Amino acid sequence: MSPDKIKSVSEPTLRRLPSYLHLLKRLDQQGRGIVSCTYISKDLKLDPTQVRKDLAATGIVGKPKIGYDVNNLIRSIESFLDWNNQTDAFLAGVGNLGRALMGYERFKDYGLNIVGVFDSDHEKIGTTVADRKILPIAKLPELARRMHINIGIITAPAEAAQIIADLMIEGGIIAIWNFAPTSIKVPDNVIVEKAHLYTSLAVLSHKLAEALANERSPEDEKGIANKLE
C-alpha cells in the first residue's frame, strides 16, 4: 500500500475499517468464504455505496454479483491497518491482571504491542513495570491522539471501566479490549471485545458440573442411594 493511497482515505473510513474486520472474522469463523457488500452493509447498518468505497480504499475490489473473498478482504484490511500503526495498544489499570498482560511476551507474536500503561493510583504512577513506566490516566487521551493508538485494554475494576473507556474514546481509540467485569457504552464506530473472565469461568464451572453428573454411572448412583439408606 503506497503512502499516497493512504492519504486519500478519510478518517471516518479508517474508523469504520475495524468494524468490517470484526464482522469478517466472525464470518470466517462460521466458515463463510464469500460475502457481498449488501450483507456487510445490512449487518453494520451502513450505506452499501459507502461500504464499497471504504473497502476499495484498502486496495480490494469485489467481483460483481459474487462479492468479496472473506479471507482476501481480511488480509487486505489487516495489512492496511498495520501500516497505520494499528497494533500498538494502551493499557489502563496496572493491577495483577494488567501486570500479567504486560508481562505476556507472546502478544507480540499476535501483533499486539502494549506501548503505554496508565493508572490512577499515585503510588503506582512513575514506577516501572515490565520495562514500562506507569503514566497518570489523565494523560491517556492526549498521548493516544499523538501516538495514533487504536487499541485500548481495560484491566481496571468495574466501577472505573466506563470512565477509562470515555478517556480512550476521547483519545481516538477505536478498539477496546475490556477485561473489567462490566459492560461499557461506546459509540457505534468503536469496537468492544469483552474478555470477562468471570463469565468464562461461569461457563466452565457449569460445563464441569454437567460433565461430572454425566460421568456418574448408574452403579455409582445405586451406591450413593444405598449409602443414603
Report the interface residues with ligand ATP, using CB under 6 A: 92-98, 118-121, 124, 137, 156-157, 160, 163-164
The residue (of 68 and 90) whose beta carbon lies closer to ligand ATP is 90
The residue (of 100 and 208) whose beta carbon lies closer to ligand ATP is 100
Burial label for 46, CB within 10 Å (0-12, 13-18, 19+), is: middle
Closest distance to ligand ATP from the beta carbon of 201 (Å) = 16
How far is Cα 46 from Cα 18, in angstroms, rounded to an integer?
14
Closest distance to ligand ATP from the beta carbon of 117 (Å) = 10
Closest distance to ligand ATP from the beta carbon of 93 (Å) = 3
Write the DSSP symbol of residue 139: G
CB-based contacts of 120-125 (< 8 A; 24+ apart in sequence): 120/156, 120/160, 124/94
Pairing mode of beta strands 68-69, 191-194:
unpaired
The residue (of 38 and 200) whose beta carbon lies closer to ligand ATP is 200
Residue whose C-beta lies closest to ligand ATP: 95
The residue (of 27 and 137) whose beta carbon lies closer to ligand ATP is 137
The residue (of 160 and 186) whose beta carbon lies closer to ligand ATP is 160
Closest distance to ligand ATP from the beta carbon of 159 (Å) = 7
How far is Cα 79 from Cα 57, in angstroms, rounded to an integer?
12
The residue (of 36 and 162) whose beta carbon lies closer to ligand ATP is 162
Query: Minimal CA–CA distance to 82: which of 58, 116, 51?
Result: 58
Closest distance to ligand ATP from the beta carbon of 71 (Å) = 38
Closest distance to ligand ATP from the beta carbon of 143 (Å) = 14
Helix axes of 48-57 and 37-44: crossing angle, nearest 10 degrees: 110
Q: What are phi and psi of 120, to 5 degrees?
A: -105, -10
Cβ atoms of 47 and 55 closer than 8 Å: no
